[in-house]
Amino acid sequence: MEAKGNISPNLTAGSARQYQPYLEAEWGFKNSWYPALFSSELEENQIKGVTILGREIALRRARGQVYALDDRCAHRGVRMSLRPTCLTDETITCWYHGFTYNLRDGILRTIVASPDDPLIGKIRLRTYPVAERAGIIFVFVGDEEYQPAPPLEADLPIRISDDKNAVAHILDEQAYVRGIHRRGNSNWRLAVENGFDPGHLLIHWDNQIIAATDRNLGLGALPVTEDAIKIIDEPGGPKGMMNMYNTRAYKFFGENREIGLKARGKKPYYARTSVFLPGLLLVEHWPAPGWAQYEWYVPIDNRHHEYWEVLVGRCTSPQERQEAEYLYEHFFEPLALKDFNDNDLFAREAMQSFYEQGGWERENLCAFDDATIVWRKIASRFNRGIQESPHRRTIHS
């Protein structure tokens, strides 16, 4: 495991000035890899539009390869994905007036009704690097001059090598990868902080998966030593933090006698959460031992995020893969990705109005929020740039 270093959890909300870049990142962190679509969602000769960091991007698969370009025609600004038009394997055509762009470099190649137009070859659409791995199409979104783009692995969780019970990494050859994505009606920062919040287990107290597995999830956890949180700072690789729940660095609470509340379930529960830039959560051994849940919180704009919920397991044979399919369809997706995580979506959306009205300056954080403060500082330190509000679109020439 390449986690190293630590940050003392003895922090307070008064340290907000130390994470000012994070407070400014309402549109997200740029120059980073984000999931855009599952591979199965983009068939040959299809065009689909997504919005990441406020940027409207058209994805097209041609001859098996996926290309990404700005999804606004340079002519009159319509979204080309609204009525996909694919006339050749090398181009994408705007359905309105026939402006046709090269997929590789975005240069205007021809205009259907004006093939000798002097504008041809002089304007272009912005293109984006694409990586298709583990059944997911990733797009590198940020400044065009930020070259070369780092490898996709730099924006994924570290590979854990010193744990005999290590879960499969999403890029492993034997990894089974499946999940869903949907829109969340809150800022991406509220989503990522909810994902690893040590004190939010109350909203999951009576979830169906707890009853089905008799698992003692607890009511919350409190960091009590400096080893509770490990910084992850791999040279040229992942940046983030790991909550060391499997050690004595955290104190777990299973009962609150003041209000007579006690955690449900009898079976011990072991899991560990990590969070990585630009906004990715890894929960090991959830929703079952040997499995891992990846969650991306992809900024759409300053009020919405695309919530990616992906489960990763290890399958070494066709029979194990068949069993994984059954577990996913009948247990994992309905009880973990939907019923359980629906509560997290509800919580994030409930915070949105408060935080968009100055809540970042009015919040009153408590002891278990130390993990949140550490994340804010790490994100402020290691991000590759803050996405500006895209009020107007630039045509490249």
Residue 311 inside a domain? The answer is yes
Tokens representing 71 are: 């999804």
pLDDT digits (tens, 9 = 90+) for 221-252: 777 777 788 999 999 999 999 987 766 777 77
How high is the pLDDT of residue 6? 43
Which residues of the chain are modeled with pLDDT < 50?
A: 1-13, 393-397
Same domain? 165 vs 291: yes
pLDDT digits (tens, 9 = 90+) for 256-290: 888 888 878 777 777 789 999 999 999 999 999 99
pTM summary value: 0.92
How high is the pLDDT of residue 202? 80
Asked whether the beta carbons of 320 and 326 are under 8 A apart, the reply is no
Amino acid at 126: R
Residue 395 inside a domain? The answer is no
Let me know how long the chain is.
397
Cβ-based neighbour number of residue 121 at 10 Å: 12
Same domain? 203 vs 116: no
Cβ-based neighbour number of residue 318 at 10 Å: 8
Tokens representing 262 are: 């006690």
299 prior amide bond cis, ω within 30: no
Same domain? 198 vs 321: yes
How high is the pLDDT of residue 246? 67
How high is the pLDDT of residue 221? 76
Structural domain including 351 reads 13-27+153-382
Which are the contacts of 114, defined by CB distance < 8 A and separation ≥ 6?
A: none
How high is the pLDDT of residue 13? 45
Burial of 293 (0-12, 13-18, 19+ CB in 10 A): buried
CATH of the domain at 91: 2.20.25.10
Same domain? 358 vs 316: yes
